[in-house]
Structure 1
Amino acid sequence: MNTLTRCTLLLPGLLLSNAAMADDAPLVLDPSVVTGSRSASPTFDLPYSVDGISREQISEGQLGINASEVLSRVPGLVVQNRQNYAQDLQISSRGFGARSAFGVRGIKLIADGIPASTPDGQGQAATFNLDTAERIEVLRGPAATLYGSNAGGVIQMFSRDGEGPPRIGAETLVGSDGLNKHHLTAEGAANGTGFVLDASRIDTNGYRDHSSARRDQTFAKLNVQPDDDSKLALIYSSLEQNGTQDPLGQTWAAYKADPRSVSANALAYNTRKSIDHQQVGMNYERYIGDATLQVNAYTGRRSVIQYLSIPKGTPANERGGGVVQFDRKFYGASVRWMHPVDSAPGELTIITGLDFDQSEDSRHGYQNYSGNSLGVKGQLRRDEIDTARSFDPYIQANWGLDRWTLQAGIRHSTMELEVDDQFISNGDSSGNKTYQKNTPSMSVMYAFTPQLHGYFSAGKGFETPTQAELAYAPGSVEGFNFGLKPSQSTQYELGLKAQLDNTRINAAVFQITTEDELVVYQALAGRTSYQNAGRTLRRGFELGIESQLSEHWTSNLAYTRLQATYDSDFVSGGATTVDKGNYLPGVPQTTVFAELNWKPRDWVSTAIEGIYRSKVYVEDTNNQHAAPAYSVFNWRARFEQNVEHWTFHQTLRLDNLLDRQYVGSVIVGDGNSRYYEAAPGRSWYAGAGAQYAF
């Protein structure tokens, strides 16, 4: 372990040793969350691992661009900004989602009650608008299975309501690698109607060559109270990225020779991606006596065209094409009824609900060449309608009795995937597959003292293959891989939660056994096919500590130790034996986030962050060069001034203070051995904004 790593690990402990000198300054160390219990409850009183990230933590000294800026402070999560806007973030929770080649996989993403994950489990964190976020809640462990299939964890973002006097604002941010962000906002309340309007544009050249991007986001929210017993919110959001360049991964030799390097094929075929995403939703809540009715509905569309680097003449180009294009329509609704049972001892609430979600893709594939022109839309090679839908009823009970708290529930999850192949010259690939399973969860907590709670949680979950994982049968066989089975997990968690003066401590140990783990079978000629492996075993420890050291100083620590291994031998790709005991790729064994924040005055705050991640294997045999461990430090500061109706603020930020060169993320099982994605060296950012209140 090098000196820098030791500093990262020891810094929080040194800070916490001074907690005894802390003043009695108030700090919200126990936020209320709704994730898990589905009604507002302090995290300290919930019998499972759940954390809330406040509006201040989301915005203060941050760029407001990627969720990776704030999610690293949550134990159990590994969040990597790939420096590639064409592929979105990589997020894993206790190992779930680590193998995702693009987007977020195996974790349920929700924004204002609207799923940011499709029914088959593929999600897009880029749709989260951090500029409008009031809070983010993160649930890990067995209780997450109550959110259905593909819920190895749950990340929910809640936008703020329009409140207070109307106000308008503008902000500009500039930084390294040609980054600039322009942001306009208007919010407040008038005549009983709250409103939030937000628009932003981000441009960047990217750290690596061929990685420039432009992203436009808009957001609008209206919240009203039709009467004394009800609330209604209407929400619209959009995301647009045109011609976002994709530098692809790097081989180890290319990364070492030039971290900014790009694959020659990426340049030859001008690999890129365009996204146009729009959605509208409605949240309605009504109090009927002591009971509560909640109704949510949404609809939207998403269009994507992506130019890949599959070389001209390879079989995948001849069958599926090197240009992927789809137009998606998605919609859904949920109904929830929460009813307290007054006749029961203690406090008992029964929750029943029903979730329905559907997405329909009109999907096409084209060759990525025409004659001698590369990186263009050529001959049609794929034409199909892909439909994924889920229909999930559930029931849950929350019961508090003296020192005991019990939460238990069961959900019947159904995910159906249907393929209507309209390009049948290569054989009809139409078909359908339905996955069903009951996912129960039970959690119990005992209050040893008012300041010390212990809990145990257990649950069963399952993870269905996504449409992308089903898309190709192994080898050269045409058609979908409908033989894939869902992976099924059994999860246990044992934890303690303590509140000691001005310090909050959450600690948990957990074990997850999984049957039929989904892994890469073969990545060849631009096509990745999947198979079910045998068993996997994940055992880990999480520790979260947040402390008010004094009136002006606070600290935060998130520590994760995770041993994720294959628990049985299996044969990969029909030829390669993966041994029992091999580590799951994409999952670091140790992750640490530490933060020390100083706020000497109301108008200024500054903080230093330390992040450590141990080495990461990149494929199942563990024979290829693992991405090395790294430690980085970041610094941020925010200043604010109030002058009558005006509020001004400035932001300064320096990332990777010591200019370390490291691999920021990996692409698990890449068929071209381009597993690595370099992270930027030292980077600077500066921004300023103004707001006027009427």
Structure 2
Amino acid sequence: MKKIILLCFFFLPVWAYSQQVTITILDEESREPVVAALVRIAGQSNLITNDIGQATINLSENARVVVSHVSFEDRTYVLQPNVDKELLMTRKISALGEVVVSAFESDRPLLQQAAAISRVSERELYRFNETSIVQAFNTKPGIRVEERAPASYRISIRGSSLRAPFGVRNIKVYWNDIPFTSPDGTTPLNLLDLSNIQNTEIIKGPAGSIYGAGNGGVISMYSRQQVTENRISSDVAVGDFGLYRYRIGVDQQLENGGISASYAHQKSEGYRDHSAVDRKVFQLAGHYFPSAKQRISTQLLYSDLDYQIPGALTEAQFLENPRQARPGSADQNSSIVQKSLYAGISHQYQITDKIENVTSLYMENTEFENPFILDYKRELKFSYGGRTKFILEDRWANIPVRLILGGEYQFGRSSAQNFGNRSGVADTIRFNDDLVTTQGFLFQQLEMELTNSTILTLALSENFSRFDINRSIDAQRGVPSAAERSFPPVVIPRLALSQQLNSTSAVHGSISAGFSPPTIDEVRTNEGSINLGLEAERGINYELGYRAGFAEGRVNLDASIFYFRLDETITTFTNEQGVVLFRNAGSTDQRGAEVLLDYALIRNQTAFLNEMKITHAFTGHYFQFRDYESGGNDFSGNQLTGVAPNSLVNQLDLTTRAGLYLNFTHQYVDEIPLNDANNVFQNSYHLVSARLGWRRTFAGQWDLELYGGAENLLDEAYSLGNDLNAFANRYYQPAPGRNWFGGVKVGFRY
């Protein structure tokens, strides 16, 4: 009897303090129970929620639990003894009807959008080596990102890179809804580390009715928009060619918001000679909620970028040794050093129940230095600008409407000097320019829900732009000079219609105009000439599309066809010194088809292999010069330079309950014409890459991920960014052969 009393006394603390807590797991949007969710808590056996989304846990003190499900994002919660709790889970984007995008300033499910839109999620960005956006973007139909050298990007959306021998042009880029494209029309996308991007939306084709000048499209990138927990994280990655990258980040919740800070440093010796890169990026972000009707976001980004430019090779040099640099590149220290400070603030205010305003302002300062084989450039750039929009949601004549009125303005000033290059050192000055660029537009858009399934959109913008070139030093002419060019207001309309066929499928059609004036770098070229006769590109795009989801979101199809007629197409050519120049090339016909198909073969939370997903992306771009004569040659009917007629991407993604995952990617790219005459082509090629990893959460506080992988497993010889219409037949910028990478990530919640 005494033994029984002592035994009861021993367990008394457990009976006294251990309490049963019932948790109910719900879908955040539908409030439906999440069945078969995995609940993990340190020191206890894993639990599975029942058919009403519930599980019961014994707790004697506050504890963290991790809840995971194949269809939802993993979440961590803090539970208290004797306090039952509802836990909300955010569904992973799978079915088209669940994908909400903000394109054309309209927060609607993708199924209701009347435009060709691709979304690159955070999961897709981290399917590959975590050093650039290239591979993730290239898995989307109609989009091609080229990397002529590490950190030297060129982006083509539906063949828009013809006028961009280097850099990102003819595409408008926003970062956290703030203009990231400079007033002069160029975009320093290489300033961003991958950790500065969480999600991306890409509009393909003209979008000037809302976003101003540009025929290629719009890229809207977002970093993390809210601080949901206190967390410290760090990751380290290594790879071939001396690759080393590390990042550290801190998230801190505040009473009415939160702040986050991150620092990333990436270095590489490069695959080719003279192709090293060194980039340091610091980001400080704040998200605040002063009241129930207001939200303020701030961004501070500092980027210090230094990369070498190996230059293009002839075919003979490419075949002899693809790792060599162009002769003279190393001797002249051909490279770019760029330091940029970018600051932005965005204010969202719900004025009334029906009216909302969002206003964003930014300021940027850049020091740019570019020794090149032929010259040496220095620039000091300063720019500022902003964007504002008013949104009215109401009913007119019993029809739900959404009216958007807004405007955008940017101003930039540059002090640009061009010198001779003597063994990598700036020599005698050739010319000194003060450059001023101004651009802006007003936009209006009306959306009318004619029926429960029909949405009509009418939109237009009025655009203006101007640049001034004041040359104070001109070594060739000997006298100062001034030049200016302004483009009168241009109206860009858009008409779009979306018809939902049922709850899981819809068709859409649109007619949209495009307008793209030349950038100041295209008018003012490296050898000092100023081409004021270069005209703006103008075009009109006709598009039809179909989207559908089947088998409860397990199968998704997104397809579109389009015809884009472009007049005054800007193309490149080189003079006798090898300097890239620009000219208008008549007109082009651009017909295309783009298809994305994904399907989940396995989706079972309780099985070891809980998800198996396959994705196919096909691009058919059948572009040609419609009317183009140059130098006595008629190129009419030729393929558009730099555009692959066909490409196909296949992806396989596997995840397991144990935390193991595999991402496998195959990409086929058709042969690419490298000059307007179509007598030089890059051969077609196949790229295969894979990433294998393991991720797990421990004690509800620690996150750990280990991964490794390989790129170009077939060891293909190819160029990821050719020089078009190249002088002396230097077309090729060889990309790395087979190479390996790996890394580790650690996070701690406090």
Normalised by the length of structure 1, the TM-score is 0.90
Match of 2:39 in 1: none
- Deviation per CA, 1:363-403: give whole Å up to 9, x if none: 0011102xxxx221111111111111112011001222222
* Structure 2 spans left out of the alignment, 5+ residues: 1-69, 73-90, 604-610
Question: Measured at CA, do residues 305 and 526 of structure 1 come closer, stay the same or move farther in structure 2, by a change above 3 Å?
Answer: farther
Post-superposition shift, 1:670? Answer: 2.2
Q: 1:627 to 1:219 in 2, by over 3 A?
A: same
| Partner residue, 1:546 | 598
* Residue of structure 2 equivalent to 1:13: none
**Matches of 1:118 and 1:170 in 2, distance apart?**
32
2:492 matched residue in structure 1? 439
| Structure 1 position 27, deviation (Å) | 5.0
Match of 1:687 in 2: 743
Q: Look up the match of 1:393.
A: 442
8 Å CA contact retained: 2:213, 2:516: yes
Among 661, 666, 669, the alignment partner of 1:605 is: 661
Alignment of structure 1 residues 322-471 onto 2, 5 Å: 322-369=375-422, 374-402=423-451, 403-424=453-474, 426=477, 427-435=479-487, 436-471=489-524
Whether the 8 Å CA contact 1:594–1:609 is kept in 2: the answer is yes
Deviation larger for 204-213 or 124-133: 124-133
**Is 1:36 paired with 2:86?**
no
- 1:282 equivalent to 2:345? Answer yes
2:687 maps to 632
CA distance in 2: counterparts of 1:24 and 1:147, whole angstroms: 34
2:251 to 187, 195, 205: 187
Deviation at 1:438, TM superposition (A): 0.9
Task: Note the C-alpha offset of 1:144.
Answer: 5.3
1:132 maps to a residue whose letter is N
Partner of 1:17: none
Counterpart in 2 of 1:678? 734
What secondary structure sits across from 2:720 in the alignment?
Answer: strand
Change over 3 Å in CA distance of 1:165–1:472 after alignment to 2: closer
Take 1:569 and 1:578, find their aligned partners in 2: how far apart are those partners?
Answer: 6
Work out which structure has the larger RCO, using CA pairs closer than 8 Å and 6 or more positions apart in sequence: 1
Verify the 8 A CA contact 1:503 1:547 in the aligned structure 2. yes
1:17-36 aligned at under 5 Å gives the runs 28-29=93-94, 30=96, 32-36=99-103
1:480 matched to 2:530: yes
> Aligned partners of 1:637 and 1:534: how far apart in 2?
49
* Corresponding residue for residue 525 of structure 1: 577
8 Å CA contact retained: 1:36, 1:143: no
Cα deviation digits, residues 577-617 of structure 1 (max 9, x gap): 14211111111111222111001226222111011111111
Q: For residue 48 of structure 1, what is the amino acid of its counterpart?
A: A
Q: Structure 1 residue aligned with 2:132, among 39, 45, 66? A: 66
Residue number in structure 2 paired with 1:54: 121
- SS of the aligned residue for 2:104 comes to coil
TM-score of the superposed pair, with normalisation by structure 2: 0.83
Relative to 1, partners in 2 of residues 1:377 and 1:534: Cα closer, same or farther, differing over 3 Å? Answer: same
Q: Distance in 2 between matches of 1:180 and 1:253?
A: 32
Quick check: 1:84 aligned with 2:150? yes
User: What residue is the counterpart of 1:622 in the other structure?
Assistant: 678
Match of 2:543 among 468, 489, 493: 493
Report the CA distance between 1:652 and its aligned residue: 1.0
| C-alpha contact 1:166 1:190 (8 A) present in aligned 2 | no
The whole-number CA distance in structure 1 between the counterparts of 2:576 and 2:494 is 39
Classify 1:545/1:344 alpha carbon distance in 2 versus 1 (closer, same or farther; 3 Å): farther
Distance in 1 between residues matched to 2:746 and 2:501, nearest whole Å: 49
Equivalent pair of 1:179/1:202 in contact (CA under 8 Å) = yes
Match of 1:557 among 616, 629, 642: 616
- The answer (yes or no) to whether the contact 1:443–1:457 under 8 Å persists in 2 is yes
* Equivalences for residues 263-282 of structure 1 within 5 A: 263-282=326-345
AA aligned to 1:434 is: S
What is the CA-CA distance between 1:151 and the residue it aligns to?
4.2
Counterpart contact for 2:162–2:570, Cα < 8 Å: no
**Aligned-residue offset at 1:236:** 0.6
> Which amino acid in the other structure matches residue 429 of structure 2?
L
Q: What is the CA–CA distance in structure 2 between the aligned matches of 1:513 and 1:151, rounded to whole Å?
A: 11
Q: C-alpha displacement at 1:448, in angstroms? A: 2.3
Mapped to 1, the partners of 2:419 and 2:481 lie a distance apart of 17
> Would you say the 8 A contact 1:471–1:529 is kept in 2?
no
**Percent sequence identity over matched residues?**
21
Conserved 8 A contact 2:626-2:636 = yes
Structure 1 residues 672-681 or 515-524, which shifts more? 515-524
What is the aligned partner in structure 1 of residue 61 from structure 2? Answer: none
Q: Whole-Å Cα distance in 2 between the matches of residues 168 and 379 of structure 1?
A: 50
- Write the distance in 2 (CA, Å) between the matches of 1:35 and 1:195: 24
Distance 2:574 2:588 in 1: 19
| Counterparts of 2:519 and 2:695, CA distance in 1 | 46
Structure 1 residue 651 corresponds to structure 2 residue 707: yes
When Rg is computed on C-alpha atoms for both structures, the one with the higher figure is: 2
| Residue 161 (structure 1) aligns with | 225
- C-alpha distance in 2 between matches for 1:612 and 1:100: 23
Contact 2:112 2:499 in 1 (8 A): no
Q: Residue 562 of structure 1: CA displacement?
A: 0.4
Code of the residue aligned with 2:310 in structure 1: it is P
How far the C-alpha of 1:110 sits from its partner, in A, is: 1.1
Distance in 2, Cα, partners of 1:382 & 1:616: 37
Question: Within 2, Cα distance between the matches of 1:282 and 1:621?
Answer: 48
Tell me the alpha carbon deviations over residues 532-572 of structure 1, each in whole angstroms, 9 at most, x when there is no partner: 1111110000001122221111122211100111001311x
Contact 2:539/2:564, CA 8 A, preserved across alignment = yes
CA offsets 1:304-354 (integer angstroms, 9 cap, x no match): 1111112xxxxxxxxxxx101101001101110000122343321000001
Q: Residues of 1 paired with 2:412 and 2:197: CA distance?
A: 26
Q: When the two structures are aligned, how many residues end up with a matched partner?
A: 646
Q: Which amino acid aligns with 1:166?
A: N
Counterpart CA distance in 1 for 2:294 and 2:569 is 45
Unaligned runs of 5+ in 1: 1-22, 311-321
Distance in 2 between residues matched to 1:442 and 1:362, nearest whole Å: 41
Query: Distance between the aligned counterparts of 1:513 and 1:395, measured in 2?
Result: 24
User: Aligned runs of 1:282-321 on 2, under 5 Å?
Assistant: 282-289=345-352, 290-310=354-374
| CA–CA separation in structure 1 for the residues paired with 2:105 and 2:292 | 22
**Shift of residue 207, structure 1, vs aligned partner:** 0.6
Candidates 566, 569, 586, aligned match of 2:628: 569
1:377 and 1:619 mapped to 2: Cα distance?
33
Classify 1:169/1:39 alpha carbon distance in 2 versus 1 (closer, same or farther; 3 Å).
same
Q: Is the CA contact 2:455–2:499 (under 8 Å) kept in the aligned structure 1?
A: yes
Aligned in 2, Cα 1:531/1:429: closer, same or farther, shift over 3 Å? farther
Cα distance between partner residues in 1 of 2:592 and 2:626: 15
Letter in 2 for 1:639: W
Between the aligned partners of 1:144 and 1:655, the Cα distance in structure 2 is: 37
CA displacement at 1:163 relative to structure 2: 2.2
- Aligned residue for 1:379, secondary structure, equals strand
CA deviations over 1:22-41 (Å, ceiling 9, x no partner):
x9997522354444331321
Contact 2:207 2:514 in 1 (8 A): no
Q: Distance in 2 between matches of 1:178 and 1:547?
A: 38
* 3-state SS, counterpart of residue 255 of structure 1: helix
2:193 equivalent in structure 1: 129
CA deviations on 1:507-542 (whole Å, 9 max, x unpaired) are 111001111111124333242221111111100000
